[in-house]
Structure 1
Amino acid sequence: MKWKDPIPICLTSPTMSVPFALNAELSTVWHNNPTLLHNKYPDDNFLMRIILPRITAIPSVEYLSDSVPSFGCGFFCAGPATTCDAYIFSVFFVNAFIATTAIDGVVELQSPEVIWVANRNRPVGENATVQLTELGDLVLYDADGTLVWSTNTTGKSVVGMNLTGSGNLVLLDRANVEVWRSFDHPTDTLAVSQMLHLGQKLIAHTSVTNWAEGKLYLTVLADGMHAFAGIDTPLEYYKSPTGGSVATNKAAYIALNNDSLEVFTSFREIEALDYHIQLHANSSGLEFARLDWDGHMRLYRWENDSWVSSDIFDISDPCSYPLACGEYGICSHGQCSCPGVALEQTGLFELVDAREVNRGCFLTSSLSCGSAGKTSFLAVPNVTQFNIVYNWTTDEEHCKLSCLNDCSCRASFFQHKDTSSGFCFLASDIFSLKSVTAQSYSSNFSSLAFVKIQDSTHKSLLSKEKRAIVLVAGSLSFVTSVIVAVFIVLRRNRAEPLEDEYNIDCFPGLPTRFSFMDLKSATGDFSRKIGAGGSGSVFEGQIGDKHVAVKRLDGINQGKREFLAEVETIGSINHIHLVSLIGFCAERTHRLLVYEYMPNGSLDKWIFQNHHAAPLDWKTRLKIITDVAKGLAYLHSDCRQTIAHLDIKPQNILLDEMFTAKISDFGLAKLIDREQSSVMTRLRGTVGYLAPEWLTSVITEKVDVYSFGVVIMEILCGRRNLDYSQPEESRHLISILQESAKNNQLLDLIDPGCIDMGLYLDDVFRMMNLAMWCLQVDNNRRPSMSMVVKTLDGTMDVETELDFDLIHLTVASRPAGRNTMTLQIDSVLSGPR
């Protein structure tokens, strides 16, 4: 029995009557609870609750082969089905039928496959709600009323929602025109008739059990289809064999075509593809393509009553995939193992799942960065990573030392002919290690990895025999030592102040001080994580009637000095364009900061193409530039001391519900007395935003002006200054700006995702000239932030005598100096906070 088109029917059970509707009207609300249509047995490895079924339910079938999957929309359990507390709002394939043994026609659901997710990074719980509001916005709220996701379509004349036959969730206006489409916001999957446009990405899951965005993504550039691994410095592991180049192709699209992914670079090809897609979508075949957590791009087809998969990428060596053996796993001829096993140093790593060795390995003792002396390296010979781009030439000891002094570095790779000279790569993202042989290199080169481990763990790797002797011989002394230690600790706690209290109460004008238990309760035991970065994690919380963001410093890259700097710097100042510090906690080893909640998250979420938020219009971009300028002008000119922020970047610019921009994260800030013209300090900040004078370590507040110039260009161009996913000649935005300015080709830099920027070209070019004024290599030629504000207000003109040589290459792309820098990695604090 085959069904070509879904038919609306009504299934009933003893407790509910659910019509198989395909659309919804305004003011409709769905609650995530068992009143929704759901699978009969919640312990059958999945739990789903359907709000918009577009499925063919076959009455009284006896065998599963009598039905085929179609689409549904609703809540899907992203955790264990038996105790699920994490749901994602999604579109999925699902197979529905009524078993002949069912009582009162209870529906059975089988073989779900999710093809689109709204809230993959922020699951919701029981009794969460989805609502199509009266104003035409589709929103997702958690059970406590927290806004988790929205289509942001208020005011666009939406009158209804529909789930199409191709699995596209759409919002429609009165003219039946699609105002919003899930196909325009891809996650990790392409369905038939869905296209991935130039600059869009498919981002794989973190792991088999974690639905959050991981480190692997597929994108389409003008010269073809590319797959990358990594967040801060993405490395390419696959490129499509299609022709064309950036110079010849101004547009590109990826679509599922003839059971493979194909790249199209002209509208004529797209028009021909549309006709083929229509035929293909109406065929009896059911299929989709998904970038899986391990980096494989797989085609899934419904055959013989189940989903079968096949690889799309033509990568012959299985070890060339970034996660062929999961994180830390060593891949050798397709076989997986953990580091240390071959060296008879067991105990350092364990398998994530002993039954599935390709899931990877994990450190038995987590890394911390209290000081460099607490960590050491496990040297793993004859291994490399899938596609290392070596950063610089150095010797083995400096390669190791650079990683040891960089808390974001998890391993260093050294390729050499002898230990006196070789090529070094520092990896902040851990992938699989790839086994190599001496024959793989010419001229007797060899390759090895230094994997960072806890020093205490390494030293405790005794043989089983030695460990037994030590345990027996030391048991009595151990018990005695414990008793003495407990006595000393109790006495010290009564007699002495806590070491980590910092004497912080002596600072004038401090905000509210909270206890650790207060903040633990406010954040639901730190369960609502909305961001993470080099300095710590951020959690959503509620204190009384105040919505807050709680930043917990994890000790990885921010210690006592940075904590005190942040409290002291912004604890006593207040400005509309600075994020308000509501309070703090300094209790024993706990260091937390409580900020006002910023519902629209950080700026990078809205301007970079690897995020899925709707692009900002020109007026909003200009407003954000002006807001940040006013905040910096206040810090530089209107405080008792000049405050240099030293880490201005989109991740540290937060947006409230009205897209008012506020500067955050003062952990690296430096106070400069008014009588001082400059200060000397160690290099700190984020690569890509560093002013040239950092080479001398003698800086002024003008380093913030330089960083602000970089941010202006990122806002105008919709991309990062340093983007390693781009072709080599296009990786550095300021270099491109320099050449474009000299050749009078600034128009080519405008963000193609901003639909109305072309209507304000005079203003756009004025902002580019302002950015170049801020980016002058000679800091004396840069404007003050007060001058920038006057320029934005129209009371002052942009300097016209500019030097277009904007690049000091040593700072612009210098990765080798990590052993002397306090550099921040790009954070992922992009959610609301």
Structure 2
Amino acid sequence: MQRSAWMENSKSWMPFWSEPKTKCSVYGVCGSFGSCNDFTSPFCNCVKGFRIKSQTDWDLGDRSQGCERMTALQCGGLNNNSASSEKDGFFEITNVRLPDSPNTLATAASREGCELACLSNCTCSAYSYNGSGCFVWHGGLLNLQEQYNEADAGSLYLRLSASELQTSERNKKKVAGWAIIGAIVLAILVSIVPATLIVVKKRESRRMIEKAKAMQSGLVSFSYSELQQATRKFSKKLGGGGFGSVFKGSLPGSIDIAVKKLEGLYQGEKQFRAEVSTLGAIQHVNLIRLIGFCSQGTKKLLVYEFMPSGSLADQLFRSNSNVLDWKTRYQIAIGTARGLAYLHEQCRDNIIHCDIKPENILLDDALVPKVADFGLAKLVSRNFSRVLTTIRGSRGYIAPEWILGMSITTKVDVYSYGMMLFEIISGKRNLMHTGESSFEFFPLVATNKLIIGDIKSLLDQRLEGKANSEEYEKACKIACWCIQDDENSRPTMSQIVQALEGNLDVSIPPVPRSLQVLNESWTKSINSSSSHQS
């Protein structure tokens, strides 16, 4: 279901509300004993101990039949006196939206009592215990959602056969066993190292190893000298922008990091740490993870996870890089939109990125996109005019209302995303030199061809036409809607996600007047510059 508003200028309908907003908000979408997760692909999976009931239906996109148990339960576990049989147990699933239709047991006053009550009933499939009491479920579990961060999230204890639980226990024991063996081997190696070297290096190495381990659970505070050592005195520069330069580093345990030296920062120590703490708490599969920081006098640095595949700009524009296929590009577009939607709509304080461009979309070893540099605009807010000037050097990504000095909203990121989406489609920069004194502004070309129905020539020629025509036509339409002059005509990032995933229809947009003006202005400016140089 969706609602649309009539846009008089374009004589078309603009969607402004739709349901469902996410796949997991559809009731029972993954069926009985199916678990839904908006951040994974596929979004439906069977819970532990269960398998897909009808693989054919799942392959066709229908998961409503859900999953079936792989190993039967020992019904009446507490009353089963067979010496050979083992009692059922429970597997904990944390941070989930609990299934619908629970039964409340007022007689159970503890988690152990709740577990006992469930175990003694043959039909009990799972239980949950919290401050509100004991809840049990009989039969199938519907509407279970993982990675659920709302206030009503909880832990579910899923009833499984003893053999299923023993498999998990054996795996844990294997890991523990190898850990013990590793510890013994390490102790032997350490014992034969000359005592003088141990005394000299022991303290510093231990501190850095502890910090490397601590990064798994929270933000780590580094000293400036530690980051100098990790980056070999900032010798390998990865890139730079309006907020500072980035350098590659390495921590003990072969952990690669990216260290950003912030420039133009005037915040006090307390305020800086508070802002960094907020950024460190933001976790999303499509956002770069902040793992540490340094605040030492005027020196302010941020430590991020390192992305081995570089930036989207590297993959799209470097002549020596492999050509990204269309499927990968489309997934990058969706992932980036998800990350921005999370910043705009799901963070406690909504975050405007202010500098979306291919250089700020990083890719991991599986080419999963991670939005970088989010939240930095606020860190340098006292000197933001300088940053804005620098960002304007990224020609063509800044929304017209920002250039005109008007107040900005999340729609400036939508505009920048649209400009970047054009580059994902074409595989080249939006402003291209096409002759001795001739330039082509791709977004203007794309919007004009979109209106007349000629979009085949818009696709990156290196793909040789190997792309889903429905997807790149949809991407062209979305990109054009993103760069509309009136910010109210632009979609939200969550609407963009829905449209890219095929859950929202996209109409043909009008050609923004600002595109034509911008194209004429740039052409005159570049031609004038060329004539002066000659």
TM-score by length of 2: 0.50
Secondary structure, counterpart of 2:258 in structure 1: strand
CA distance in 1, matches of 2:246, 2:405: 34
Contact 2:444 2:515 in 1 (8 A): no
The question of 1:752 aligning with 2:458 is answered no
CA distance in 2, matches of 1:803, 1:577: 31
Deviation at 1:705, TM superposition (A): 0.7
CA distance in 2, matches of 1:648, 1:726: 29
Aligned to 1:651: 359
CA distance in 1, matches of 2:328, 2:405: 37
CA distance in 2, matches of 1:566, 1:728: 47
The question of 1:767 aligning with 2:475 is answered yes
Seen in structure 2, the aligned counterparts of structure 1 residues 600 and 807 have a Cα distance that, compared at 3 Å, is: same
Seen in structure 2, the aligned counterparts of structure 1 residues 719 and 657 have a Cα distance that, compared at 3 Å, is: same
Aligned to 1:133: none
CA distance in 1, matches of 2:484, 2:275: 29
The match for 2:285 among 573, 576, 583 is 576
Seen in structure 2, the aligned counterparts of structure 1 residues 623 and 588 have a Cα distance that, compared at 3 Å, is: same
Secondary structure, counterpart of 1:689 in structure 2: coil
Amino acid across the alignment from 1:662: K
The question of 1:718 aligning with 2:424 is answered no
The question of 1:589 aligning with 2:298 is answered yes
CA distance in 2, matches of 1:785, 1:707: 11
Q: Deviations over 1:242-268 (max 9, x none)?
A: xxxxxxxxxxxxxxxxxxxxxxxxxxx
Seen in structure 2, the aligned counterparts of structure 1 residues 759 and 689 have a Cα distance that, compared at 3 Å, is: closer
Q: Deviations over 1:499-548 (max 9, x none)?
A: xxxxxxxxxx9822110011111112223333344543322212232221
State how 1:72-87 maps to structure 2 within 5 Å. Answer: none
CA distance in 2, matches of 1:510, 1:688: 37
Deviation at 1:665, TM superposition (A): 1.4
Aligned to 2:511: 804
Q: Deviations over 1:598-653 (max 9, x none)?
A: 00000011112x44201100110011000000000000110112211010000000
Secondary structure, counterpart of 1:753 in structure 2: helix
Q: Identify the structure with the greater strand proportion.
A: 1
The question of 1:777 aligning with 2:485 is answered yes
Q: Identify the structure with the greater helix proportion.
A: 2
The question of 1:613 aligning with 2:328 is answered no
**Relative contact order higher in (CA < 8 Å, ≥ 6 apart):** 2
Contact 1:542 1:548 in 2 (8 A): yes
CA distance in 1, matches of 2:290, 2:435: 38
State how 1:47-126 maps to structure 2 within 5 Å. Answer: none
CA distance in 2, matches of 1:768, 1:561: 41
The match for 1:541 among 219, 244, 249 is 249
Deviation at 1:774, TM superposition (A): 1.3
The match for 1:660 among 345, 350, 368 is 368
State how 1:461-476 maps to structure 2 within 5 Å. Answer: none
The question of 1:522 aligning with 2:236 is answered no
Seen in structure 2, the aligned counterparts of structure 1 residues 806 and 727 have a Cα distance that, compared at 3 Å, is: farther
The match for 1:560 among 250, 263, 266 is 266
CA distance in 1, matches of 2:224, 2:453: 57
Amino acid across the alignment from 1:784: T
Deviation at 1:724, TM superposition (A): 4.8
Seen in structure 2, the aligned counterparts of structure 1 residues 770 and 566 have a Cα distance that, compared at 3 Å, is: farther
Deviation at 1:760, TM superposition (A): 1.5
CA distance in 1, matches of 2:309, 2:275: 22
Amino acid across the alignment from 1:606: Q
> Larger deviation: 645-654 or 565-574?
565-574
5+ long unaligned stretches in structure 1: 1-508, 672-680, 816-833
> Larger deviation: 771-780 or 724-733?
724-733
Seen in structure 2, the aligned counterparts of structure 1 residues 597 and 759 have a Cα distance that, compared at 3 Å, is: closer
The match for 2:346 among 632, 635, 638 is 638
Seen in structure 2, the aligned counterparts of structure 1 residues 570 and 526 have a Cα distance that, compared at 3 Å, is: same
Seen in structure 2, the aligned counterparts of structure 1 residues 773 and 597 have a Cα distance that, compared at 3 Å, is: same
Seen in structure 2, the aligned counterparts of structure 1 residues 566 and 804 have a Cα distance that, compared at 3 Å, is: farther
Amino acid across the alignment from 2:455: L
CA distance in 2, matches of 1:687, 1:813: 14
Aligned to 1:625: 333
CA distance in 2, matches of 1:745, 1:703: 28
CA distance in 2, matches of 1:793, 1:778: 25
Seen in structure 2, the aligned counterparts of structure 1 residues 726 and 769 have a Cα distance that, compared at 3 Å, is: farther
Secondary structure, counterpart of 2:304 in structure 1: strand
Question: How big is the alpha-carbon RMSD for the aligned residues of Structure 1 and Structure 2?
Answer: 3.2
Amino acid across the alignment from 1:689: Y
CA distance in 1, matches of 2:494, 2:370: 17
Deviation at 1:745, TM superposition (A): 2.6
Amino acid across the alignment from 2:228: K
Seen in structure 2, the aligned counterparts of structure 1 residues 682 and 656 have a Cα distance that, compared at 3 Å, is: closer
Equivalent pairs counted in the alignment come to: 294
Secondary structure, counterpart of 2:495 in structure 1: helix
Secondary structure, counterpart of 1:606 in structure 2: helix
The question of 1:739 aligning with 2:448 is answered yes
Amino acid across the alignment from 2:356: I
Seen in structure 2, the aligned counterparts of structure 1 residues 691 and 569 have a Cα distance that, compared at 3 Å, is: farther
Secondary structure, counterpart of 2:432 in structure 1: coil
Deviation at 1:578, TM superposition (A): 0.6
Contact 1:579 1:595 in 2 (8 A): yes
Seen in structure 2, the aligned counterparts of structure 1 residues 658 and 548 have a Cα distance that, compared at 3 Å, is: same
Seen in structure 2, the aligned counterparts of structure 1 residues 552 and 765 have a Cα distance that, compared at 3 Å, is: same
Contact 1:725 1:731 in 2 (8 A): yes
Q: Deviations over 1:150-172 (max 9, x none)?
A: xxxxxxxxxxxxxxxxxxxxxxx
CA distance in 2, matches of 1:794, 1:534: 35
Seen in structure 2, the aligned counterparts of structure 1 residues 810 and 723 have a Cα distance that, compared at 3 Å, is: same
Deviation at 1:595, TM superposition (A): 0.4
Deviation at 1:791, TM superposition (A): 1.1
> Larger deviation: 713-722 or 770-779?
770-779
CA distance in 2, matches of 1:741, 1:682: 32
CA distance in 2, matches of 1:759, 1:801: 20
CA distance in 2, matches of 1:809, 1:551: 37
Amino acid across the alignment from 1:730: F
CA distance in 2, matches of 1:561, 1:691: 28
Secondary structure, counterpart of 2:473 in structure 1: helix
Deviation at 1:727, TM superposition (A): 5.8
Secondary structure, counterpart of 1:707 in structure 2: helix
The question of 1:698 aligning with 2:423 is answered no
Secondary structure, counterpart of 2:291 in structure 1: strand
Aligned to 2:259: 550
CA distance in 1, matches of 2:310, 2:275: 20
Secondary structure, counterpart of 1:783 in structure 2: coil
State how 1:421-440 maps to structure 2 within 5 Å. Answer: none
TM-score by length of 1: 0.33
CA distance in 1, matches of 2:511, 2:457: 17
Contact 2:425 2:460 in 1 (8 A): yes
Contact 2:316 2:424 in 1 (8 A): yes
Amino acid across the alignment from 1:721: N
Q: Deviations over 1:469-525 (max 9, x none)?
A: xxxxxxxxxxxxxxxxxxxxxxxxxxxxxxxxxxxxxxxx98221100111111122
Seen in structure 2, the aligned counterparts of structure 1 residues 735 and 594 have a Cα distance that, compared at 3 Å, is: same
The match for 2:220 among 497, 503, 512 is 512
